Structure 1
Amino acid sequence: MGFLTTHVLDTMNGCPAAGMRVALYRIDGDLPTLLREVALDADGRAGGPLLEGGAFHAGRYRLAFEVGAYFRARGIALPEPAFLDRVPLDFGIADASSHYHVPLLASPWSYSTYRGS
C-alpha cells in the first residue's frame, strides 16, 4: 500500500520548518476537499503519513503550506502583503501502491519542490 508524506526545510534559517501549518486537499474537478490539516513537528515533518491505506487513491491533490505565517511566527518582518503567504502545490498520484513524498524548501521569497523518496 502506498502513502503520502511531506517535509519542509526553512532555507532562510537552515533548519526544519517546525510548527508550519500544512493542509491537504483532494481535487475533484475544480473543487478542493480538505482532507487533513497538520502542524509540522520539530523535524519539519507531519509526524507520519498524511494519507495512507484505504484513503490513499490515485488522483489530484493539493498541499497548502502556510509559509508567511511560519516566518512571521519566527519574527521575520514581512511586507503586507507578503511575497509568499500560502504556497499551494498541486500534484497527481498515479500509482496508489507507491510512496509519494512531497518536500518543500522555503524562504520568505522563494520555494522549490520535487518528488522525493
Structure 2
Amino acid sequence: MSSLLNSLTTELRRGTLTLAVLSQLRKPQYGYSLVQLLEQAGIHIDQSTLYPLLRRLEKQELVTSSWDTSESRPRKYYVLSDFGVETFLQLKKEWMENSNQLLALLKGDEEDEDGFN
C-alpha cells in the first residue's frame, strides 16, 4: 500500500474507531475485552490506539471508568456516561445518514465504472 493510501485509510478509520468503541461501552468493558469484541466484529485496534482513545473519551465526559479489584488482577472498566449514551445515539444517527448517502454515491460510481461516464 502506498504511503498516501495508507495515510488516507488511517484518516478514514480514525472516526470510525471512536464510534465503534462507543458502541461497545453500553455495558462495562475493560481494555482487553473491548479489543476482543471489536476484533470479533472485524475491527482491528491496537492497544496503543485504544487506551489513549479511552482516556480522551473519559476527559470529554463520554465515558466513566472504575477499578474492579475483586479478582487477583485489578481491571479498569469503562462504560458510557449518560452524556456518552446521548452523544453516541446522535453520532450513530449521523453515521447512518452519512453512510446511506455515501453508499448511494459509491453505487452510482460502480455503475459508471466501466464507461467512466
Say whether the fold is shared (TM-score over 0.5). Answer: no
Comparing both chains, which one has the higher relative contact order based on Cα–Cα distances under 8 Å and sequence gaps of 6 or more? Answer: 1
Specify which structure has the higher proportion of strand. Answer: 1
Specify which structure has the higher proportion of helix. Answer: 2
State TM-score, norm by structure 2.
Answer: 0.23
